[in-house]
Structure 1
Amino acid sequence: MKSRVNEAVRLFKEGYNCSQAVFAAYADLFDIDQETALKISCGFGGGFGRMREVCGTVSGMTLLAGMSNGNPDSKNQQAKKENYELVRRMAEEFKEQNGSIVCHELLGLSKPETSATPEERTPQYYQKRPCAELVAMAAQIVENTLFQDKMD
């Protein structure tokens, strides 16, 4: 498999949110079409509905971890634990690289977000936000963690 980091960044720069960009770049590997992937991951953007909580890129990674080794058996505590360990490992790597997994901290915002309305994507938006770089980092973590044995 070729790297899809640039595909994730391209999706973000097309106007999809951070979670959508990360999740949709890899969803086809789990037989999920792009439209469905974009719908599933939509609400996680902007730190969960633009509330600036857990970064949408981390949510996208978490969704992919669930597709990779999620637990469909409610009684299988070991499988649940293994998935949680995978999610924690990916989130910790993201945190080591960025200092946080929390959207408002990553954006340097001092007050809570009050509006659900997304900002217009202008050149100034991309200049003041680290989001495209965060999408790239999250996608690289996904590749290193979930698809390492499948990379060209």
Structure 2
Amino acid sequence: MNRQEKAASLHHKGYNCAQAVACSFCDRIQIDEKTMFMLMEGYGFGMGDTYGTCGAISGAVAVFSLLSSKGNLDGPYSKADTYKAVKALTADFRVKNGATICRDLKGMDTKIMLRSCDGCIEDTVTILEKMLDNKSVG
């Protein structure tokens, strides 16, 4: 099973979008699934209310951050590179789907769905995998 299939399977099992994306990378980031599941719980559904960033993106940002941060508490200098990569991830997602906000993606105001949750999860996993394969991260 590839990561897109794993993330879809987790979502259909009841994981929110953030949990499905982040947990599909647990093997790569060396974190147990239960901890990641608990950490990402509040990030689904656009951070609980559809007005925030798509949960799938939030899950990917968590994964990328865990892989790219140097964890240097005395000199947190790796964040600039992490921010740059996250900006590229969200830009790729926005080009593909027209938005990064859950409410907009679901078409809650316009009645025009830009992308389903399953589609957002698939796209985000694909974008993140490509980014990780092209960088010496994780």
User: Which of the five TM-score ranges fits, normalised by the shorter chain?
Assistant: 0.7 to 0.9
The whole-number CA distance in structure 1 between the counterparts of 2:89 and 2:116 is 19
Q: Give the total of aligned pairs.
A: 132
Which structure has the larger Rg over C-alpha atoms? 1
SS of the residue corresponding to residue 10 of structure 1 reads helix
* Aligned counterparts, 1:56-135, within 5 A: 56-74=55-73, 76=75, 78-110=77-109, 130-135=116-121
Runs of 5+ unmatched residues, structure 2: none
- What is the aligned-residue RMSD (CA, Å)? 2.1
The whole-number CA distance in structure 2 between the counterparts of 1:95 and 1:56 is 14
Kindly indicate whether the alpha-carbon contact (under 8 Å) linking 1:58 and 1:91 is maintained by their aligned counterparts in 2: yes
Give the structure 2 partner of residue 116 of structure 1. none
Bigger Cα displacement from structure 2, 23-32 vs 70-79? 70-79
What is the TM-score with the length of structure 1 in the denominator?
0.79
- Per-residue CA deviation, residues 15-64 of structure 1 (Å, 9 max, x unaligned), is 11000000000022221111111111111000002343110011011001
Instruction: In structure 2, give the amino acid aligned to 1:47.
Output: G
What is the TM-score with the length of structure 2 in the denominator?
0.86
RCO higher in structure (CA 8 A, sep ≥6): 1
The whole-number CA distance in structure 2 between the counterparts of 1:13 and 1:134 is 14
Kindly indicate whether the alpha-carbon contact (under 8 Å) linking 2:44 and 2:55 is maintained by their aligned counterparts in 1: yes
Runs of 5+ unmatched residues, structure 1: 112-128
Instruction: In structure 1, give the amino acid aligned to 2:120.
Output: L
SS of the residue corresponding to residue 52 of structure 1 reads coil
